[in-house]
Each structure stands twice: as C-alpha cells, then as structure tokens.
C-alpha cells in the first residue's frame, strides 16, 4: 500500500489495514488510486510504496519513486548542422585569415587553403556558422547515437536499391545479347553450348547472394579465448528444412529430449523402417564406427592406470593407443594358444569323420517285445548304467538320501529337512519343531529391534591440561618418563586388585610433566576401536 505518511494506528485499525491489503492482492477489493487517478499495484512492497516522512505526502502516491529532480538546463536537442547566421561583405578584424568567418581562426579553418586569404583579397567572405553549447548528463555524453538523424537511413536504402536495379538491368541485357547470338547461329552442338551459358546467366531474384547463403546459420556470440574473451562465430549446421528431432514423435512417452543440451539419446521412432529412418537417436553414433573403438581405448587406459601402469589417455594419447594395440595382439595370441591346447588334448570333432548313425541313434540287433501293460514278453530289457557309488541307501531311519533337499545354500535330507549329515531322521515332528524354533527366533529378533534404545550421544570432555594437546615446546626426561610409566602401571594394578595395596600408603600430590605424559600414554580411550589390542 502506498501510504502517505506513518501515523499511529490502533490494533484494530492495523488488522483492518492488513485484511484490506490481502483482499487487494487477491483481487477481491479494488486497487488503491494515487493523486493522478492511476491504480497502484498492490504487490509493490511497503518499503517502496511508502513515502518518506519529510515529504509530508497527504495522499498515497508513487511520485517519490520517480525522478522529480530534473536539470532545467538539460536538453535533448542537437547541433544544427551547417546552419549559417550571418554573411559579411568585407573582412572583419579577428576573423579567419583564410575564409573570413568570425566563428573560427585560421588554424581551425576547414576550407581549402587559399593562395591569398580573404584578409588580403576582401572577397568571397565565408558566412559565420551557428555555434551552440549543450549541457549533457552522464548518459547523454556517452550516447553513441546522440544526434543521429534516422531519416538519413533512407539514403542508404536508396543506394542499395539502385545498385540492385543496375545489376538486374545488366544481366537482362546480357541475356538478350546471348539470345540474339543464338538465333543467328545454327547447329545443335553450338546451341547446346549456348544453352549452358544461358543457364549460367539466369539469376533467381528470390535467392540471396552466395556470401549471405554461406552464412545462413552464422551465430554471433561471446566465446572464451586465451586473450580474455572476444566475439567469435559459432555455426549451426542444421538446415532449416530439416525436421527438428523433438518433432519426429510427439508422443509424451517417446524418447526424452533435453532442451538444455539439445540431445535425444534414444530412438524417437524405434518401429520405423531403418532404411527410411534419417535419425535414430544420439546413441546411434556413440555405439557405431570409431566411437566404440575410442570408448574401448579409454576403458583400457583406465584399467591399466588402476593396475599401476603410468598411462593417461589425455596426457599421452599416442602412448595409450600403442599400448592398446599391443594388448590386443597379445590377447589374440593367448586365445590361439588356449585353443590349440584344448584341441591337442580333446581333439576337434568338426574336422574328424562323421559318427555312424547306428551309434548316434543307439540302434542294435537286440529285440525286445512288450505287452499292453508294458511288461516284457520276449527278450531282455536294457540294463541301466550304474555308478561305482552306492545308490538309494537310506541310513538312520531316513526315507531319502543326502542331497535331496536344498535350503539357504545348504544340502540336507528331504524327509526331515535336516542339514546335518548322518543325523537321525525326526520325520514330520522334526520339521514342525524346526519351523517353530525359526518363528520364535524371528519374533525375538523383531522384539529386540523394537525395544532397542538409541544410545545417548557421548559428550565430548575437554581437558584443561595438556592431556590431549601437548605443547610443542615440551621437553621430557627419558629416565623420569620410564619411571613414571612403571609407577602408572603399578597404580593401575592396585586399582584392579585392592589386596595389593600396602597398609601404610603415603601419597605424593606433586605431579610432574613425566607423570602427566605417562598418564596420557596409559589412558584408555573408550571410543578407540583398537583399545582392546593396545591395552
């Protein structure tokens, strides 16, 4: 609210004023009007809308925010170029010796130096120029367009139009000359040659000049350079007739387009014919051609650097590429050696003779006849191959073998679900007891987690002495320090076992630097994770 001045208000008036301001901001109440009848924006902060007390403003206004101090001598007018004020008939004293004008001297005269000046000839006296002075402000003195007459730009347009008209007229005359020459000559070969020349002379007026066509996508912008930054040129290689990548598929669930980097990694039209597809996403170029090889080269440089080799892709790219080539050669040699070793040991079935069909299909001369129930009537059934280990041997009352059940990365018996080998089978009762024990353990763990209290943070104790921060200038005696360490060990043993305390104990209240250092060295830090290994 644009208040006139700060006055005392009661609590009720202040509350009503705040409610009115909120209503104006919400658009429920009309905006406040200033002295000129203009509405005041209710969203203007109070520190901007309230007038200073020394202005004694009676009505709300924003005049105190405007420039109310204006220079009466300031003007926006400019010099009257070429204006003359007086034409003299004879030379006057103090005038220019060259042209006879009173507004300048011979040193500042802009006319051609005469062989005999107007001071001595008293002829062709130049008129006096109009001299003006202006009081310009800070911006007016630095305005590069101050005094520019916009109407003079019409002369520039007329000059360019006249040039284009002359160019079109010249080309038209050249075409007429070529046509007359073609009518006078006969012969298809000559006519074809002249047609080529005629085509070269045809100029499409709708096209722009070649120099402008080369710079159709020229963008002027600030580019950082080593010299501190200068205006550079960045070319946009996209042709205006091409469809933008984000317009290929207008589905919101299609490939994501990042407007900041102008990148679309995925394919916007994955179901389209690849032969008719012009754009297949940015990843199409990253996963094809030399980009994939460069990616593998970077990965090899990183892995080699992690293994201790002094290699860096950006610092020494030639070295990194040479090492990568050697790595691929050595890898191929190892592959071929491994292949040869395997072929030498097991042979190559692809190069050997074909196996007979009798062996492949398992045919033999043995004949076996079965009835409808599957029983053998004639012949003998083929014996199944048996291993050298005992099979289907059940021990300790088990009804299944060891390894028939798998649970939590452990083998066991399927009949009782036990994971201890050679254990006695407990049957269904054992399974129920195991499940009950598991449920009870899970319940106990959950109850413990629920009732577990958060440990209270340990307050940091800052010692007044040099118990933690040892002064730099501290000098200790090695013998006294060794005696103090022995004395500290004895004191700690007495604290652990009261029976070792002597009957007559005499205390010494004097604490030396060596005693303090021994206490600090033997002190147990409870927050130290290695305390159990040190003491």
Mean pLDDT score, 206-219? 47
* Percent of the chain predicted with pLDDT > 90: 23
Q: How are beta strands 84-86 and 128-129 bridged, if at all?
A: antiparallel
For residue 453, pLDDT beyond 70: no
Record the tokens describing residue 95, joined without a space. 């005038």
Interval 78-93: pLDDT, tens: 888 889 999 999 999 9
What is the rounded CA–CA span in Å between residue 233 and residue 222? 8
Record the tokens describing residue 240, joined without a space. 């205006």
Segment holding 360, helix H or strand E: helix 357-361
Record the tokens describing residue 275, joined without a space. 């032969």
HEC per residue, 312-353 = CCCCCHHHHHHHHHHHHHHHHHHHHHHHHHHHHHHCCCCCCC
What pLDDT does 369 receive?
87
Chain centroid offset of residue 30 CA: 47
What is the rounded CA–CA span in Å between residue 417 and residue 376? 39
Record the tokens describing residue 309, joined without a space. 């080799």
* DSSP strands (E only) in 24-130: 84-86, 128-129
Least confident of 183-187, 318-322, 331-335, 421-425: 183-187
For residue 455, pLDDT beyond 80: no
- CA distance to 28, 35, 156, 157, per residue, from 151 (Å): 50, 40, 10, 11
Count CB neighbours of 5 within 10 A.
14
What pLDDT does 502 receive?
64
Record the tokens describing residue 278, joined without a space. 């012009």
What is the rounded CA–CA span in Å between residue 215 and residue 237? 10
For residue 480, pLDDT beyond 60: yes
Own/partner contacts of 28-33, CB < 8 Å, gap of 24 or more, are: 32/1, 32/2, 32/60, 33/60
For residue 315, pLDDT beyond 60: yes
Interval 501-512: pLDDT, tens: 666 666 666 788
Residue that has been written with the tokens 């049957």 in this structure = 427
What pLDDT does 190 receive?
52
Helix, strand, coil in percent for the chain, rounding step 5: 40, 5, 55
Q: Are 248 and 257 in contact (CB under 8 A)?
A: no
What is the rounded CA–CA span in Å between residue 61 and residue 56? 12
Largest interatomic CA distance in the chain = 158
In degrees and rounded to multiples of 5, residue 393 shows phi and psi of -105, 115
pTM: 0.26
Helix (H, G, I), strand (E, B) or coil at 523: coil
Q: Are 287 and 307 in contact (CB under 8 A)?
A: no
Interval 135-190: pLDDT, tens: 888 888 888 888 888 888 899 999 999 999 999 999 999 999 988 888 887 555 55
User: Cβ-count burial of 431 within 10 angstroms (0-12 exposed, 13-18 middle, 19+ buried)?
Assistant: middle
Q: Are 37 and 6 in contact (CB under 8 A)?
A: no
User: Cβ-count burial of 198 within 10 angstroms (0-12 exposed, 13-18 middle, 19+ buried)?
Assistant: middle
What pLDDT does 212 receive?
45
Of 78, 43, 39, 54, nearest in space to 6 by CA: 54
What is the rounded CA–CA span in Å between residue 267 and residue 279? 8
Record the tokens describing residue 7, joined without a space. 């006055």
Q: Would you place residue 205 in the very low, low, confident or very high pLDDT band (cuts 50, 70, 90)? A: very low
The residues facing 263 across adjacent strands are 258
Q: Are 301 and 320 in contact (CB under 8 A)?
A: yes
Q: Is the dihedral of CA 295, 297, 299, 302 positive or negative?
A: negative
CB proximity list for 191: less than 8 A, separation 6 or greater: 182, 185
Higher pLDDT among residues 251 and 362, named by residue? 251
């Amino acid at each position: 609210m644009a208040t006139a001045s700060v006055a005392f208000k009661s609590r009720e008036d202040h509350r009503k004023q705040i409610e009115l301001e909120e209503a104006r901001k919400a658009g429920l109440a009309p905006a406040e009007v200033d002295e000129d009848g203009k509405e005041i924006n209710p969203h203007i902060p109070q520190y901007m809308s309230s007038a200073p007390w020394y202005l004694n403003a009676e009505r709300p206004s924003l005049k105190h925010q405007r420039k109310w101090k204006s220079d009466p001598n300031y003007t926006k007018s400019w010099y009257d170029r070429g204006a003359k004020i007086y034409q003299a008939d004879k030379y006057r004293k103090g005038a220019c010796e060259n042209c006879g004008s009173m507004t300048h001297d011979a040193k500042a005269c802009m006319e051609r130096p005469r062989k005999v000046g107007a001071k001595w000839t008293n002829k062709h006296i130049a008129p006096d120029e109009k001299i003006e002075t202006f009081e310009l402000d800070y911006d007016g003195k630095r305005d590069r367009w101050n005094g520019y007459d916009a109407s003079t730009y019409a002369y520039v347009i007329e000059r360019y139009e006249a040039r284009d008209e002359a160019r079109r007229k010249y080309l038209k005359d050249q075409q007429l000359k070529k046509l007359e020459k073609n009518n006078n000559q006969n012969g298809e070969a000559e006519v074809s040659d002249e047609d080529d020349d005629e085509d070269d002379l045809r100029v499409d007026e709708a096209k722009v000049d070649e120099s402008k066509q080369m710079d159709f996508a020229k963008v002027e912008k600030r580019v950082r350079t080593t010299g501190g930054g200068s205006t550079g040129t960045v070319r946009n290689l996209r042709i205006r007739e091409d469809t933008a990548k984000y317009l290929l598929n207008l589905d919101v669930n299609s490939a994501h387009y990042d407007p900041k980097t102008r990148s679309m990694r995925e394919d916007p039209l994955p179901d389209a014919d690849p032969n008719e597809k012009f754009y297949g996403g940015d990843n199409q170029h990253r996963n094809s051609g030399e980009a994939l090889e460069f990616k593998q080269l970077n990965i090899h440089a990183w892995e080699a650097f992690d293994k201790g080799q002094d290699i860096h892709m950006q610092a020494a790219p030639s070295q990194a590429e040479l090492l990568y080539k050697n790595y691929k050669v050595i890898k191929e040699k190892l592959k071929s050696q491994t292949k040869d070793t395997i072929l030498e040991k097991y042979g190559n079935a692809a190069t050997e003779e074909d196996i007979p069909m009798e062996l492949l299909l398992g045919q033999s001369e043995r004949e076996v006849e079965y009835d409808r129930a599957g029983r053998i009537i004639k012949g003998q059934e083929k014996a199944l191959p048996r291993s050298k280990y005992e099979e289907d041997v059940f021990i300790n009352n088990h009804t299944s073998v060891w390894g028939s059940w798998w649970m939590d990365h452990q083998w066991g018996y399927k009949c009782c679900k036990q994971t201890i080998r050679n254990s006695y089978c407990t049957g269904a009762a054992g399974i129920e007891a195991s499940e009950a024990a598991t449920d009870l353990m899970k319940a106990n763990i959950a109850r413990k987690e629920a009732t577990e209290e958060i440990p209270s943070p340990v307050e940091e104790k800052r010692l007044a002495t040099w118990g933690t921060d040892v002064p730099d200038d501290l000098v200790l005696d090695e013998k006294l320090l060794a005696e103090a360490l022995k004395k500290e060990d004895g004191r700690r043993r007495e604290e652990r076992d009261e029976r070792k305390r002597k009957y007559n104990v005499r205390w010494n209240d004097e604490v030396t630097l060596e005693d303090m250092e021994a206490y600090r060295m033997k002190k147990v830090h409870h927050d130290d994770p290695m305390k159990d290994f040190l003491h």
